[in-house]
């Protein structure tokens, strides 16, 4: 049986529901969120009329950036947290965006539904098995030749970034990311042309953009 958000104990991105209203200003102040997400939007190479899924959209910052950059594309934001989806809907009033509630490990969409799937700072929240299931689900809902773009914590490239990851490894499920396993999980799900397209340094550790293509 597929899981739904009501079947599991959902843990908000900041771990406590009372912190949800602070999510946007904290990310913008601490991590320069929009800088990295703008790079992701540019990388995704979205064309008019494409169907695009923002997986784990949170409060909709990336979703709105996608729509503003590509107004003729069909943009969908999906998240498992109803509270952050309410914030996203309020932020996007007047924008033609579809907002759905659901989990990355059991996407509520048919096969081959999207041309692009993008996800930002979501994968490190998932346990290892759910990471693998999420990428399998993304592969399923992408059309042939569809593309996946993942912005999240990645393998450190220097002694400084290795030091920075020591604390973050203790939080949530980020060890897989820092061990460089995300490209492996993406490949195991069936994707080809998997590569790290860009990497950045933040106060919490290194970020990477991983991109991949579903074959024909």
Q: What is the pLDDT of residues 1-25, one digit of tens each?
A: 234 344 444 444 544 443 445 455 5
Structural domain range at position 12: 5-213
Q: Which residues pair with 103 in a beta bridge?
A: 106
Strand locations in the chain (E): 51-55, 74-79, 97-101, 114-120, 142-153, 192-202, 205-213
Residue 72 has a pLDDT of 97
Q: What is the pLDDT of residues 56-77, one digit of tens each?
A: 999 999 999 999 999 999 999 9
**Residue 117's domain is classified under what CATH number?**
3.40.50.150
CA distances from 145 to 116, 139, 168 (A): 9, 10, 35
Residue 174 has a pLDDT of 86
Q: Structurally, how many domains does the chain consist of?
A: 1
Q: What is the pLDDT of residues 151-176, one digit of tens each?
A: 999 988 777 666 666 666 666 688 89
Residue 7 has a pLDDT of 41
Q: pTM for the full model?
A: 0.84
Closest CA to 80 of 47, 58, 98, 110: 58
């Amino acid at each position: 049986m597929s899981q739904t958000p009501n079947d599991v104990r959902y843990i908000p991105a900041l771990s406590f529901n009372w912190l949800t209203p602070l999510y946007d200003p904290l990310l913008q102040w601490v991590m320069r969120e929009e800088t990295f997400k703008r790079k992701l939007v540019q990388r995704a190479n979205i064309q008019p009329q494409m169907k695009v899924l923002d997986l784990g959209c949170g409060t909709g910052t990336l979703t709105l950036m996608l729509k503003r950059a590509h107004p003729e594309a069909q943009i969908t934001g999906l998240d498992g947290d109803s509270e952050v989806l309410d914030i996203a809907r309020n932020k996007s009033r007047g924008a033609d965006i579809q907002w759905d509630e659901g989990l990355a490990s059991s996407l509520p969409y048919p096969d081959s539904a999207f041309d692009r799937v993008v996800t930002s700072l979501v994968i490190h929240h998932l346990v290892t098995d759910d990471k693998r299931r999420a990428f399998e689900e993304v592969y399923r809902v992408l059309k042939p030749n569809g593309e996946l773009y993942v912005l999240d914590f990645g393998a450190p490239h220097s002694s400084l970034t290795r030091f920075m990851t020591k604390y973050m490894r203790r939080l949530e499920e980020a060890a897989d990311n820092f061990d460089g396993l995300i490209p492996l999980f993406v490949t195991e799900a069936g994707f080809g042309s998997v590569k790290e397209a860009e990497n950045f340094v933040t106060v919490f550790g290194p970020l990477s953009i991983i991109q991949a293509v579903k074959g024909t």
